[in-house]
Amino acid sequence: MKINTYHFGEVEFTEDKIIIFNSGLLGFENLKKFLFIKQDDSYFFWLNSIEDPDICFPLFSIRMLDDKFPQVENYEAFGITTLNSDPLNITVNLKAPVYINQNDKLGYQKIIDTDKYPVHYKLFSE
The footprint of other proteins (CB under 8 A) covers 6-7, 25-28, 43, 55-58, 64-66, 68-69, 80-88, 90, 93-96, 110-111, 113, 119-126
Residue partners of 106: CB distance under 8 A and separation at least 6:
19, 20, 21, 22, 100
Provide the minimum distance between the beta carbon of 118 and other proteins in the complex, in angstroms, as a whole number: 10
- Give whichever of 38 and 124 is closer to other proteins, judged by the CB atom: 124
- Backbone φ and ψ of 51, nearest 5°: -70, -35
Give the CA-trace dihedral at 12, 15, 60, 23, to 10 degrees. 130
Provide the minimum distance between the beta carbon of 116 and other proteins in the complex, in angstroms, as a whole number: 8
Provide the minimum distance between the beta carbon of 54 and other proteins in the complex, in angstroms, as a whole number: 9
